[in-house]
Amino acid sequence: MRKISLWVCLCIFISCRHATPEVDLSELTSIDDVLKDAGAANKHAVVILTEQGCDACFVYKSMLATSVKKGSDLPGDLIIRSVDTRLPQNLWLNQLLHEFSFPIIVMFSPDGQIRGISKGGLATDLPRQLSAIYAGGIYYSPNSKAFQPVDGKRKFTNEDRIGFINTVAKLFTTYRKAGRFSAAEKQALQENVKLKPYFLNRYLLTQLQVKEGRKDSAVAMAQDLLRSTTGIDRMLYKTYISELEFFAGPTALADSAILSTPSVDIMLEPAPLNAFRTIRIPIRNAGGKPLVLSEVHPSCSCLKVQWPKDSIPGGEMRDISVTYQLKEAGDFRQNVYVYSNASSRPLLINIHGKVNIH
């Protein structure tokens, strides 16, 4: 009996000792997929957010790959994946953190909560950073951008910063999936903006006014946010600026074409398998010069798109028609890329929903 117990203990010790994290540094996945896989496996996750041409990102990933190959001190119940901001669906995490230097290492608990943020540094530091999280704490790099409250008398601790970021992340995720907020979420959003207003939470508050039919308030908030968003922030939040410009109207530039739409996240109504559905996406030229849609490209053959081929005069609105047939049951998530003379980069519109068997 003792021999059997000894062998069981030895096998457990060896299996734990040799357990290694799941590592994928190919940058071919999305943040949403990483969190979905980690949640299903009840594992922590580390997302390495990279950018094209980032030498520091290459060095970090190379060091990490070598460390894992040699046998690192990283826990086995861990998923590590690198994702690239060139995939538009990955940009939201950068927008959430309001960071501009890469790589950005974000550590998640199995339930999708952000528990650690590190900007730069060495890959060999990762086991130490994660040890605090596995012990029930958090990690916040001193190199990370510090969210400071508006009230100068109050100072944020690292726990405050992680809590603040998680609140915005939860509200943003809710808006992407449901397009609305509960009463408790409305209050949380308002308190979050009062604590530290920045683009993403102010954008959500503007959309809240739109959803509640407070047109004058929504226009005023959109105009104010557009005026106060300058420099590199206009590049970082370009997708959502197109929504603000849809409502702002008079503040739009008269010497350019501006592609705007009320929402870049479209939630489909539940539909049965193999059903055909058509949605219309409003597009407004918020500028003064004619807007030309050169191409509207869907992310899969399940979407058929039609768009106006004639130019759209300033201030006028047209529709993009998207017809889809859903051939697989479960969650549906696709994208439509709108190319125009308003920008060298396409406007990304997310389309998601759920497909029922019957």
| 79-136 per-position pLDDT tens digit | 999 999 888 788 899 999 998 889 999 999 999 999 999 987 889 999 999 999 999 9
Backbone angles phi, psi at 131, to 5 degrees: -60, -35
Say yes or no to pLDDT of 319 above 90.
yes
* Residue 254 confidence (pLDDT): 62
Backbone angles phi, psi at 298, to 5 degrees: -80, 155
- pLDDT, tens digit (0-9, with 9 covering 90-100), for 135-145: 999 999 887 76
- pLDDT, tens digit (0-9, with 9 covering 90-100), for 268-289: 777 777 777 888 999 999 888 8
Q: For residues 73 and 168, which has the higher predicted lDDT (pLDDT)?
A: 168
Say yes or no to pLDDT of 250 above 60.
no
Q: Are residues 34 and 121 in the same domain?
A: yes
| Residue that is last in its domain, among 248, 283, 302 | 248
**CB distance 97 to 165 below 8 Å:** yes
Q: Are residues 240 and 264 in the same domain?
A: no
Instruction: Give Cβ neighbours of residue 164 (< 8 Å, ≥ 6 apart).
Output: 147, 156, 192, 195, 196
* Residue 144 confidence (pLDDT): 76
The mean of the pLDDT values for the chain is 85
Q: Are residues 165 and 198 in the same domain?
A: yes
Six-digit token pair at 102?
Answer: 């890469």
Say yes or no to pLDDT of 7 above 50.
no
Q: Is residue 1 part of a domain?
A: no
Q: Is residue 12 part of a domain?
A: no
Of the pLDDT bands very low, low, confident and very high (cuts 50, 70, 90), residue 11 is very low
Identify the domain containing residue 238 by its residue range: 158-248
How many helices (H) and strands (E) in the chain? 11, 15
Q: Is residue 150 part of a domain?
A: no
* Residue 146 confidence (pLDDT): 64
Task: Name the pTM for this structure.
Answer: 0.78
Q: Is residue 283 part of a domain?
A: yes
Q: Are residues 30 and 106 in the same domain?
A: yes
* Residue 156 confidence (pLDDT): 85
Q: Is residue 221 part of a domain?
A: yes
CATH number of domain containing 225: 1.25.40
Q: What is the mean pLDDT of residues 44-65?
A: 93
* Residue 355 confidence (pLDDT): 66
DSSP-derived secondary structure for 286-349? -SSSPB-EEEEEESSTTEEEE---S-B-TT-EEEEEEEEE--SSEEEEEEEEEEETTEEEEEEE
CATH number of domain containing 279: 2.60.40.10
Report how far apart, in Å, the C-alpha atoms of 252 and of each of 216, 217, 229, 237, 244 are.
17, 17, 13, 16, 10
Q: Are residues 118 and 45 in the same domain?
A: yes
Q: Are residues 208 and 128 in the same domain?
A: no
Q: Is residue 4 part of a domain?
A: no
Share of the chain above pLDDT 70, in %: 90
Out of 175-189, 253-267, 299-313, pick the least confident.
253-267
Q: Count the Cβ atoms, other than its own, within 10 Å of residue 150.
A: 10
